[in-house]
Amino acid sequence: MTGPLKTDWALIRAVINTAIDSCEALEDVGYSETDREKVIDVGGRSISVQDFLVSGWTIAEDVRYQVIRERHERGEDRRYIPETSRILVAVTEACAELVSGGQDPAGGDAARRMAEWFREHFDPNIKSAIKVSDQSA
């Protein structure tokens, strides 16, 4: 029996960081709702800001379903949602609530405490618990 496949954390980090960079760039350019109808020519086609915005979340949905399809084709269907997947989704949703919250967003202190908890409690304690269990087995 083989164990679970390793995760390509570099890929996940690169994709998430790119999305964060793009969202930050959108904010930095001064985007507001009134910009949605503005249009740019891309390869001879008129594309609106709204088209780009909608594509920004639908491409992620499309890629998610592509991953699921390809996993199925490889016979790698998931029997359960890995705990790390649940952590990523929950942290991402919490961080999404911080968007447009300014330099002192509501819940900002809680988000910082959460990050600190992961670094100072989750990481070292999980590592120690697993090492101790492995040594006593």
Q: CA-to-CA distance for 117 and 33, rounded, in angstroms?
A: 36
Of 63, 79, 95, which residue is a domain's last?
79
The range of the structural domain enclosing residue 129 comes to: 81-137
Rounded to whole angstroms, how far apart are CA atoms 42 and 21?
21
Write the DSSP symbol of residue 79: S
Give me the number of domains the chain comprises.
2
Tell me: do 10 and 51 sit in the same domain: yes
Task: Give the Cα separation of 31 and 25 in Å (integer).
Answer: 9
- Domain end call among 79, 103, 123: 79
72, 88: one domain: no
Per-residue tens of pLDDT for the chain, all 137 residues: 456 779 999 999 999 999 999 999 999 999 999 999 999 999 999 999 999 999 999 999 999 999 999 999 999 998 899 999 999 999 999 999 999 999 999 999 999 999 999 999 999 999 999 988 667 76
Note whether 3 and 64 are same-domain residues. yes
Regarding whether 70 and 5 lie in a shared domain, the answer is yes
- 21 and 72 housed in the same domain: yes
